[in-house]
Amino acid sequence: MQTVIRTDKLTKRFGTLTAVDRLDLEVREGEVFGFLGPNGAGKTTTLRLLCALIAPTAGTAEVAGHRLGKEDPEIRASVGILTEQPGLYERQSAIENLVFFATLYGLDRTTAAKQATHFLQLMGLWERRDEAVATFSRGMKQKMAIARAALHEPRILFLDEPTTGLDPDAAKTVREFIVALRGEGRTVFLCTHNLDEADRLCDRIAFFRHSIIRIDTPDQLRAELYGRATEIRLLPTPRAEDLARIRAVNGVREAWLENGSIIVAADDPLRTNPELVRVLVDGGAQIAYVSERKAHLEDVYLKIVEAIR
Amino acid sequence: MTVATLAMRPQRVALVRAVCVREWREALGNKLLVGMTLLPPSVILAAGIAAVAAAAVNPPSERDVQALYAAAPAVAGLDPKEAVQGFIATYFLILFMLIPTVVPLTMAIYSVIGEKSARTLEPLLATPVGVGELLFAKSLASTVPSVIVTWAAYAIYLVSVISIGSQAASRAVTAPRWIFAIVVMVPLLTLLSVNLGILISTRVNDVRVAQQIGGLVVVPVVGIGIAQVTGRVVIDNQTFIGFASFLILLDLAVFFMAKFAFQRENILVRWR
């Protein structure tokens, strides 16, 4: 797959504060790329840099085949951005808002109207196309802002917290839209604090705090956290000696109690699990069930954030 | 295979038209702004026509005439009724020059501060449009209606004064230097006021504060007007051309200052 974003030691300083520090990044065409990090990590600054909205202090970048700082209008034409705030003209109707922005992206009147119609229908806002945006709910405004970002069919779509404040139904519409964009071969650069969403949507995830800390697929990140884990439910509850027996089994890296179950991290669960069952039964424990336990991306996130503190 | 985008840099004409239409729609939806745009020309126009009409109906007293001759030597020797009407007609023409300093300032301030408070500047700046082009389009969106309003008010005043006033009053409102002032200096003053409004709006977030600071632009116009009315300065054709030249330079300087302040990074990072 072709690389659509490539940065080389991209740096942005504001006085003494370094918001982005020698960022090296490659994003491939057609992937949904998750960009995760704590508040104040410099995610918005990175987005603004990659959208040619602000200039880097040092380093270089190439976005959609255009050099940052040399072909900025071409970069802005190739990307769409959903900012933290919807930023819509509230006195104007939904269709007027979209047609206005389409014109600014260089679309002729017919294409602008066609695209505005298409995206209003896609976002379920067509029935309210002639109403002032001020009358819209937070979720509807967010959907309008997403429609505006995608209106000119950009090669790369930068989405900053796209489902924040949306009800589950609207959030589902947005997630389906992101999946559809990937299906068309468009790249989605997704900034989110919703780790479940990142897990479900992203092909790769970068943990970021002024520079990249870790980057991989969600499955690989989870696997590296504690291998493949097993959850063992005992009746009535696990005892201290059960935990001690498990920890003594060969191949067990870690075992702990969580919500009344024993979680076991092992290098090779297929070999270790039968032994775990045997030692527990031999020790008089009553096993309710044994299942594979997938680590949550939240566990990975918290572990990484804790490590860098 | 690389996916295609529909976007490109917009044509300048299409951009200017889109920005102007959007700003005018926005302005028309703001009753306060419409009121503040129409009130000054309406008041000046109504007062001017009423004053000329009153002077035509009520002959001035001997004391008024002597005071007028002393203040405006140019009208000395004319029939007192004629002189008073000519004087009043000229005085209100000076007030007309205030319209392009007051009206567009409000529009320009709302144009920038409105976008700041609605957080619409970031998506606007994320488009392939150049900031200079955007600034130019915004300037034009505030300038055009203000110039049209001033010219329309002047046209109504002209017709009214010719209809109800004396020959001196008619001569005053059709004097070439005043036609020059309305046709040339009004747009120049409007542009100055607009760009000053934009410049001020980059630094403050409150419409009222911006208006108070921007209101200072009327001071030189009022000063020159008072000096002219009281006879301390006689503004002849040469002086008008000198003022117009100075205004062109000032317009360019303020536009470039506004352009310098209106930079993507400044707007996104420093404007709050």
Q: Does B272 touch chain A (CB under 8 A)?
A: no
In this structure, the number of other CB atoms found within 10 A of the CB of residue B148 comes to 10
pLDDT, residue A225, reads 67
Whether residues B6 and A81 touch (CB distance < 8 A) is answered with no
For chain B, positions 19-78, list CB contacts with chain A under 8 A. 22, 25-26, 29-30
pLDDT, residue B74, reads 62
Q: Which two tokens stand for residue A51?
A: 């959208």
Mean pLDDT of the region B133-138? 89
| Residue in chain A lying closest to B134 (CA) | A104
Mind listing the pLDDT tens digit for each residue in B86-101? Answer: 888 888 888 888 888 8
- B30, pLDDT greater than 70: yes
Paired sense of beta strands A17-28 and A286-293, if any: unpaired
Mutate to test the interface with B, among A5, A74, A89, A159 (most CBs of B within 10 A): A89
> For A133-137, B88-92, B133-137, which range has the lowest pLDDT when averaged over its residues?
B88-92
| Residue in chain B lying closest to A100 (CA) | B18
Task: Give the architecture (CATH level 2) of A3-216.
Answer: 3-Layer(aba) Sandwich (3.40)
Contact present, B198 and B135 (Cβ < 8 Å): yes
Closest CA of chain A from B201, distance in Å:
18
Closest listed residue to residue B188, CA positions, set B244, B108, B235, B111: B244
- A305, pLDDT greater than 80: no
Whether residues A105 and B123 touch (CB distance < 8 A) is answered with no
Q: Which residues of A touch B10 (CB under 8 A)?
A: 103-106
Q: Give domain A227-296's CATH number out of 3.30.930.10, 2.60.40.1890, 3.30.70.100, 3.40.1010.10.
A: 3.30.70.100
Mind listing the pLDDT tens digit for each residue in A76-114? Answer: 999 999 988 899 999 999 999 999 999 999 999 999 999
> ∠B140-B269-B11 over CA atoms, to 5°?
35
- B1, pLDDT greater than 60: no
Confidence of residue B259 (pLDDT cuts 50, 70, 90): confident
Q: Which two tokens stand for residue B222?
A: 């009022």
Closest CA of chain B from A104, distance in Å:
6
| Residue in chain B lying closest to A186 (CA) | B3
pLDDT, residue B155, reads 94
Contact present, B97 and B243 (Cβ < 8 Å): no
Q: Which ipTM score applies to this complex? A: 0.81
User: What residue numbers bound the domain in which B259 lies?
Assistant: 12-270
Provide the whole-model pTM. Answer: 0.82
| Residue in chain B lying closest to A90 (CA) | B118
Confidence of residue B272 (pLDDT cuts 50, 70, 90): low
Closest listed residue to residue B136, CA positions, set B190, B202, B182, B191: B191
Closest CA of chain A from B122, distance in Å:
8
Whether residues B22 and A185 touch (CB distance < 8 A) is answered with no
DSSP SS3 for B233: coil
Mean pLDDT of the region B164-170? 84
In whole numbers, what is the pLDDT of chain B averaged over residues?
Answer: 84
Mean pLDDT of the region A64-84? 94
Q: Does B130 touch chain A (CB under 8 A)?
A: yes
Contact present, A68 and A5 (Cβ < 8 Å): no
pLDDT, residue B73, reads 63
Does residue B154 lie in a domain region?
A: yes
pLDDT, residue B229, reads 65
Instruction: Select the residue of A30, A90, A153 nearest B5 (Cβ to Cβ).
Output: A153
In whole numbers, what is the pLDDT of chain A averaged over residues?
Answer: 91
Question: In chain A, what are the domain boundaries?
Answer: 3-216, 227-296
Confidence of residue B56 (pLDDT cuts 50, 70, 90): confident
Closest CA of chain B from A247, distance in Å:
52
CA distance B219 to B196: 14
Q: Which residues of B touch A107 (CB under 8 A)?
A: 6-7
Domains identified in chain B, total number: 1
Percentage, residues of chain B above pLDDT 90: 21
Whether residues B2 and A29 touch (CB distance < 8 A) is answered with yes
Mean pLDDT of the region B203-213? 80
- B78, pLDDT greater than 80: no
pLDDT, residue B269, reads 81
CA distance A120 to A110: 15
In this structure, the number of other CB atoms found within 10 A of the CB of residue B35 comes to 11
Does residue B262 lie in a domain region?
A: yes
Confidence of residue B123 (pLDDT cuts 50, 70, 90): very high
- B223, pLDDT greater than 80: no
DSSP calls for B25-65: HHHHT-HHHHHHHHHHHHHHHHHHHHHHHHHHHSPPPHHHH
Q: Which residues of A touch B5 (CB under 8 A)?
A: 64, 77-78, 152-155
Does residue B192 lie in a domain region?
A: yes
CA distance B210 to B197: 7
CA distances from A45 to A21, A40, A86, A233, B50 (A): 11, 9, 17, 46, 60
Q: Pick the more confident residue, A9 or B267.
A: A9
Q: Which residues of B touch A77 (CB under 8 A)?
A: 5, 7-9, 128
Whether residues A153 and B25 touch (CB distance < 8 A) is answered with no
Percentage, residues of chain A above pLDDT 70: 98
Mean pLDDT of the region A184-205? 92
Mean pLDDT of the region B43-58? 89
pLDDT, residue B230, reads 66
Closest listed residue to residue A131, CA positions, set A149, A147, A144: A144
